[in-house]
C-alpha cells in the first residue's frame, strides 16, 4: 500500500507561544508535517530553503526584515513552495504588497485551527485562500477604481518602472537603490503616478497595475 505524502509546512513567526501553537496544530493533524520553525526572516533565509516545504506560513511584522520582504527573497529560492501570510494586518496595502511579493494566500491570525488546515490544503492544491473579510476589502478596492481613467494614463518610462517595482513589493529605499535616485525623486515619481492613475494609495496603484499591461516595453530599470 502506497503511503500518502504529507503536506510539509514551515513557520516563520517571531512570537514563540504562537509559533508553538501553530507547530502543535500541524503536527497533530493527519496528512501534515511541520519541517521547520523560524523566528525571523533572517533565520528563514539561512535555514528554511533546505527544508523545501510545500507551504510556508509567514507573519508580516517580524524583527528585522518584514515577512513581505521574506516572501520576495525566498520565492526565487523555492519556486515550488506556496507562501501564505498569517498576520494581524487587515488593510489592503499589506494584502496587495504580499501578493505582489509572491504570496498565494492571506489569513488573519484569529483563523480557527480547522480553517487554517483547510486553507493550507487549498493553497497546496493550487488555490488562493483568503480570510473572507480580507477578500471583500480587496474586491471593494477594485470596485473603487475609476473605470474612465485610461489604462496607461500616459505614464513615462521611468514612472512605469517605479510602478512595476511598487507592484513587486519593493520598499521606497529599495526603489532608490535600484534606480539610483534620491528619495525626493522617488516621491515625485510616485506622486505623478497617483495623479495620472487617479488613485490615492499604493494599494490602488498596484491594483491598477495588475489590470493592464505596461505597453510591452522592456521594464527593467534603466541605468542612469
Listing DSSP states for 42-81 in one string gives HHHHHHSGGG--SEEEE-SS-SSS-HHHHHHHHTTT-TT-
Is pLDDT larger for residue 144 or for residue 16?
Answer: 16
Residue that is last in its domain, among 102, 120, 141: 141
Residue that is last in its domain, among 109, 126, 141: 141
Rama region for 31: left / alpha / beta (φ>0; ψ in -120 to 50; rest): left
Residues 149, 106 share a domain: no
**What mean pLDDT value characterizes the chain?**
84
* 147 has a pLDDT exceeding 60: no
The pLDDT of residue 222 is 37
Highest mean pLDDT among 45-54, 141-150, 203-212, 214-223: 45-54
Buried b (16+ CB within 10 A) or exposed e, 41-64: bebbbeebeebebbbbbbbbebee
How confident is residue 224, by pLDDT bands cut at 50, 70 and 90?
very low
**In angstroms, rounded to a whole number, what is the distance separating the alpha carbons of residues 44 and 167?**
23
**In angstroms, rounded to a whole number, what is the distance separating the alpha carbons of residues 144 and 141?**
5
**In angstroms, rounded to a whole number, what is the distance separating the alpha carbons of residues 68 and 95?**
10
Q: 109: how many CB neighbours lie within 10 A of its CB?
A: 16
Q: Is residue 1 part of a domain?
A: no
Residues 209, 136 share a domain: no
Report the range of poorest mean pLDDT among 6-10, 63-67, 111-115, 190-194.
190-194
Tell me the pLDDT tens digit for each residue of 25-52.
999 999 999 999 999 999 999 999 999 9
DSSP one-letter code for 212: S
**In angstroms, rounded to a whole number, what is the distance separating the alpha carbons of residues 68 and 41?**
9
Residues 73, 38 share a domain: yes
Residues 54, 21 share a domain: yes
Stated pTM of the model: 0.66
Q: What is the CATH number of the domain that holds 36?
A: 3.40.50.2300
Residues 199, 129 share a domain: no
Q: Is residue 162 part of a domain?
A: yes
Tell me the pLDDT tens digit for each residue of 186-213.
888 888 887 777 776 777 777 777 665 4
Residues 125, 223 share a domain: no
* 21 has a pLDDT exceeding 90: yes
SS3 content of the chain, % helix, strand, coil (to 5): 50, 10, 40
Sheet holding 32-38, edge to edge: 32-38, 7-12, 55-58, 82-87, 105-108
Residue that is last in its domain, among 141, 156, 181: 141
Q: What is the CATH number of the domain that holds 159?
A: 1.10.10.10
* 165 has a pLDDT exceeding 70: yes
Domain containing 224 equals: 145-224
Amino acid at each position: 500500500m502506497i503511503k500518502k505524502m504529507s503536506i510539509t509546512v514551515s513557520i516563520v513567526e517571531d512570537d514563540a507561544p504562537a509559533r508553538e501553537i501553530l507547530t502543535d496544530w500541524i503536527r497533530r493533524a493527519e496528512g501534515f508535517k511541520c519541517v521547520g520553525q523560524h523566528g525571523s526572516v533572517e533565520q528563514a533565509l539561512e535555514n528554511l530553503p533546505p527544508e523545501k516545504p510545500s507551504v510556508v506560513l509567514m507573519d508580516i511584522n517580524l524583527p528585522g526584515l518584514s515577512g513581505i520582504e521574506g516572501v520576495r527573497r525566498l520565492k526565487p529560492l523555492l519556486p515550488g513552495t506556496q507562501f501564505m501570510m498569517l498576520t494581524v494586518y487587515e488593510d489592503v496595502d499589506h494584502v496587495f504588497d504580499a501578493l505582489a511579493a509572491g504570496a498565494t494566500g492571506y489569513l488573519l491570525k484569529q483563523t480557527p485551527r480547522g480553517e487554517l488546515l483547510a486553507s493550507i490544503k487549498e493553497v497546496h492544491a493550487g488555490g488562493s485562500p483568503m480570510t473572507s473579510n480580507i477578500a471583500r476589502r480587496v474586491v471593494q478596492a477594485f470596485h473603487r477604481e475609476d473605470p474612465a481613467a485610461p489604462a496607461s494614463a500616459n505614464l513615462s518610462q521611468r514612472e512605469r518602472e517605479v510602478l512595476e517595482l511598487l507592484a513587486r513589493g519593493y520598499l521606497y529605499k529599495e526603489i532608490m537603490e535600484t534606480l539610483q535616485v534620491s528619495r525626493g525623486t522617488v516621491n515625485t515619481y510616485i506622486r505623478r503616478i497617483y495623479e495620472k492613475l487617479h488613485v490615492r494609495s499604493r494599494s490602488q496603484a498596484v491594483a491598477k497595475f495588475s489590470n493592464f499591461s505596461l505597453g510591452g516595453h522592456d521594464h527593467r530599470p534603466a541605468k542612469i
